[in-house]
Chains A and B, each alone.
Chain A
């Protein structure tokens, strides 16, 4: 094993705030995709063939009628286009910014086969929703006659909000219990800042709530301030959109030393920081993980002024769950990606991380990941863990006993309608199994809302 020779001593640890000028922060966290203007939107829209049984629609978890909304854009009817979008996906605005379209709708576009250039569905979706939100008459959703039914939704993330919005339209009254002080879930606290600049997440939440009939109680945490049993008693139905509260551990010694941070927590700090100059940023940063969270933290720490950022992943490029577009974005942001590197040992001095040692890895003849025995060490002032989030079941436990059934992977077990094993309780979004994407959470919330509404009407 090679020894960590060239590592800095403790007094060399270089973590600073305010590495950049105010203007640099603004540029680095501004809009990553400049929006299409009217003219370019129409030109792009005219590339859509208006396919029959369009594959893009099938590829969208919320089944937005994409050809129809694009055709509406091409005829100068952006408001109508936005209506088509939002009726299928109330977070169509956020999704147009954060969806990995290269794996969803745009991947399915028939234009890929023809010209390798799909219609820019995401950009067009953003055009339509932006146009709508800029209007005074943006609100076109209405509520049906009050039903007198009360529904509790836990979690004001995409799943909870989508569920609440749909149920509010049906005339039910919704109370959302949200542990945090703001709504939006990871749209507000987790998504990379440059994907949703200008406080977009809150503007979208305001739009969703303006339909009426939805009340949010902030700072109310299930398992602490409220219990599932009480909700079941007080409400006609309960929807759980809890997201993922836990993170995976590296499983190596010294994870709690200073400078070793959890990526999701850091991103939350970044998203909520009034002044980005106050965030501590290392000079040399190592990110561990191969998913979009790893990419997001790597790019954002780089954009906060880190000098040298390496993303280390234990398998090969083909195994990364981050999309190709995200990996390219990391690379154009000067993030170095090292594959086949398993974290072995944290190096520290004076209680602070100074480096991390990796062992090269490979797949053995059985396809199992193993170390090769060779190691290398990277100096690091900061190490970010981004190796996956987990569902924390404790809010759903009574004296350590699960009140509802979990899957093998430890998420809430639901049927096709989002119903859990406990009657009157539905769930959706990241706390259930699925794609772990904003759009999938919206789809889960909407699907459960339809089932809840049906169940309540049948019950009478």
Chain B
């Protein structure tokens, strides 16, 4: 059986599955239930200065797709709305009772050294394993010059991180906001400030839907709505890309990454880890299905690792990041063609109409015994994959390599590249 033990920035947990800082980690009651269910760690719901914030109702919006609930989720909640004291006592007690689990405390206070120094002193008394600086929250807190208002200015990130390093011995995770143009700037700033790890992504600025009766963004609060933070399965591709960028960036100096964003299954987690994540954090999936999903996650990851012969997480961590390249490094000579398996084809015609209307007119139709038979015309197929993606039957359309005997040739080497013509 694979060893799922996770070590990141000096924090150890029995598995890499942590609950992200959010309602599931808001108080002792939830966190104990999570640990009982098998979660490897938690990032406690973000703490701030007293008096605690006050929330509105309603708070959540969602994107449902084709009858599937919660493809994406958004919230307009703020940080914890409970007094600091109460949270700290509970954190201390839970950590004492669950010493093997990772206990990371998320923090957000105004952007001055004094405020950070003060809260750090108090947090240290809980015996927690690390702190996470919430520079992500894109709504509400940012209007108060915290959260993503800090996370969007690399200098602030660097400064706050270095204050935390200065005033505390706890490992510092810096949670990054995706609401920027290039994730590398805030990530590098965190590294400069001495961060022990970065966590990403926090939620994405969003309006999930418009209520067409009220004529206001969802979730509607008494006739109007605010933008909120988007998360859940829909944001995974964005999170993966940002993580991969950091993982391969020399200036980020292999800073450990706690991956977050749409993780719902063991497979999602494996992908994040393959792109360089240490631990992985989950929020929406737990809010959708409850804590029990971790059983599937640990079991699935472990079985997959056994199958692949990976004994520890380090055995495959970052392997896919190595193969993350810029477009100009791709092989211009690589050639694939679609192939339709007539045995598996159910005659829906989706491949044909997709290619015919929107791609390269490379799938022909012929009537045979009253049924439509679809065939790929090799010389017209550009190998775009569209037909394979629209085909509802797994494995019916495959993309097969054409062995053209040509060598690996990047665009930079390609004679069709006008830049090369000039030099030639």
In the complex, A110 Cα to B344 Cα: how many Å?
Answer: 11
B353 x A52 contact (CB < 8 A): yes
**Chain A window 11-38, contacts with chain B (Cβ cutoff 8 Å), 1 for yes, 0 for no:** 0000000000000000000000000000
A52 x B392 contact (CB < 8 A): no
B353 x A114 contact (CB < 8 A): no
B66 x A46 contact (CB < 8 A): yes
B41 CB to closest chain A CB (Å) equals 36
Interface residues of B in 2-18 (CB under 8 A from A): none
Asked whether any CB of chain B lies closer than 8 Å to the CB of A325, the reply is no
Answer whether A52 and B67 are a contact pair too, CB < 8 Å, given A110-B347, A113-B346: no
Contact of B348 among A43, A74, A110 (CB under 8 A): A110
B66 x A74 contact (CB < 8 A): yes
A53 x B350 contact (CB < 8 A): no
Answer whether A114 and B371 are a contact pair too, CB < 8 Å, given A52-B350, A52-B352: no
Answer whether A42 and B67 are a contact pair too, CB < 8 Å, given A53-B365, A55-B371, A114-B392: yes
A264 CB to closest chain B CB (Å) equals 34
In the complex, A46 Cα to B350 Cα: how many Å?
Answer: 15
A114 x B346 contact (CB < 8 A): yes
Contacts of B393 in A (CB 8 A): 114
Select from chain A the residue with minimum beta-carbon distance to B365: A53
Select from chain A the residue with minimum beta-carbon distance to B393: A114
In the complex, A54 Cα to B350 Cα: how many Å?
Answer: 10
Which of B68, B348, B349, B365 has the most C-beta atoms of chain A within 10 angstroms of its own C-beta?
B348
Contacts of A114 in B (CB 8 A): 346, 392-393
B379 CB to closest chain A CB (Å) equals 22
Asked whether any CB of chain A lies closer than 8 Å to the CB of B112, the reply is no
A53 CB to closest chain B CB (Å) equals 5
A110 x B67 contact (CB < 8 A): no
**Chain B window 50-70, contacts with chain A (Cβ cutoff 8 Å), 1 for yes, 0 for no:** 000000000000000011100
Asked whether any CB of chain A lies closer than 8 Å to the CB of B125, the reply is no
In the complex, A360 Cα to B353 Cα: how many Å?
Answer: 55
Contacts of A111 in B (CB 8 A): 346
A51 x B371 contact (CB < 8 A): no
B346 x A43 contact (CB < 8 A): no
B67 x A46 contact (CB < 8 A): yes
Contacts of B68 in A (CB 8 A): 46
A43 x B67 contact (CB < 8 A): yes
Which of A45, A49, A111 has the most C-beta atoms of chain B within 10 angstroms of its own C-beta?
A49
Asked whether any CB of chain A lies closer than 8 Å to the CB of B30, the reply is no
Which bracket fits the contact residues of B?
Answer: 10 to 19
**Chain B window 350-394, contacts with chain A (Cβ cutoff 8 Å), 1 for yes, 0 for no:** 101100000000000100000110000000000000000000110
Which bracket fits the contact residues of A?
Answer: 10 to 19
**Chain A window 102-145, contacts with chain B (Cβ cutoff 8 Å), 1 for yes, 0 for no:** 00000000110110000000000000000000000000000000
Contacts of A43 in B (CB 8 A): 67
Answer whether A51 and B67 are a contact pair too, CB < 8 Å, given A114-B392, A114-B393: no
A124 CB to closest chain B CB (Å) equals 13
A276 CB to closest chain B CB (Å) equals 40
B350 x A74 contact (CB < 8 A): no
Select from chain A the residue with minimum beta-carbon distance to B351: A52
Contacts of A42 in B (CB 8 A): 66-67
Answer whether A52 and B66 are a contact pair too, CB < 8 Å, given A114-B392, A114-B393: no
**Chain B window 324-359, contacts with chain A (Cβ cutoff 8 Å), 1 for yes, 0 for no:** 000000000000000000000011111011000000
Contacts of A52 in B (CB 8 A): 348-350, 352-353, 372
In the complex, A51 Cα to B347 Cα: how many Å?
Answer: 8
B392 CB to closest chain A CB (Å) equals 5
In the complex, A120 Cα to B365 Cα: how many Å?
Answer: 27
B347 x A55 contact (CB < 8 A): yes
Contact of B67 among A54, A55, A74 (CB under 8 A): A74
B66 x A51 contact (CB < 8 A): no
B348 x A49 contact (CB < 8 A): yes
Answer whether A113 and B347 are a contact pair too, CB < 8 Å, given A49-B392, A52-B353, A55-B371: yes
Contacts of B346 in A (CB 8 A): 110-111, 113-114
Which of A46, A51, A74 has the most C-beta atoms of chain B within 10 angstroms of its own C-beta?
A51
Select from chain B the residue with minimum beta-carbon distance to A40: B67
Contacts of B392 in A (CB 8 A): 49, 114
B315 CB to closest chain A CB (Å) equals 38
In the complex, A45 Cα to B67 Cα: how many Å?
Answer: 9
In the complex, A55 Cα to B350 Cα: how many Å?
Answer: 12
Select from chain B the residue with minimum beta-carbon distance to A43: B67
**Chain B window 16-37, contacts with chain A (Cβ cutoff 8 Å), 1 for yes, 0 for no:** 0000000000000000000000
A51 x B365 contact (CB < 8 A): no
In the complex, A308 Cα to B393 Cα: how many Å?
Answer: 47
Contacts of A53 in B (CB 8 A): 349, 365, 372
In the complex, A74 Cα to B66 Cα: how many Å?
Answer: 7
Contacts of B348 in A (CB 8 A): 49, 51-52, 54, 110
Interface residues of A in 168-207 (CB under 8 A from B): none
B264 CB to closest chain A CB (Å) equals 19
Interface residues of A in 251-291 (CB under 8 A from B): none
B212 CB to closest chain A CB (Å) equals 10
A31 CB to closest chain B CB (Å) equals 24
B interface residue numbers (CB < 8 A to A)? 66-68, 346-350, 352-353, 365, 371-372, 392-393
A interface residue numbers (CB < 8 A to B)? 42-43, 45-46, 49-55, 74, 110-111, 113-114
The 8 closest A-B pairs by CB, nearest first: A52-B349, A52-B353, A46-B66, A43-B67, A46-B67, A110-B346, A113-B346, A51-B348
Pairs across A and B, CB under 8 Å, 27 listed: A42-B66, A45-B67, A46-B66, A46-B67, A49-B348, A49-B350, A49-B392, A50-B350, A51-B347, A51-B349, A51-B350, A52-B349, A52-B350, A52-B352, A52-B353, A53-B365, A53-B372, A54-B349, A74-B67, A110-B346, A110-B347, A110-B348, A111-B346, A113-B346, A113-B347, A114-B346, A114-B393
Please give 20 more A-B residue pairs, beta carbons under 8 A apart, in addition to A51-B349, A52-B350.
A42-B66, A43-B67, A45-B67, A46-B66, A46-B68, A51-B347, A51-B348, A51-B350, A52-B348, A52-B349, A52-B372, A53-B349, A53-B365, A54-B349, A110-B346, A110-B347, A110-B348, A111-B346, A113-B346, A114-B393
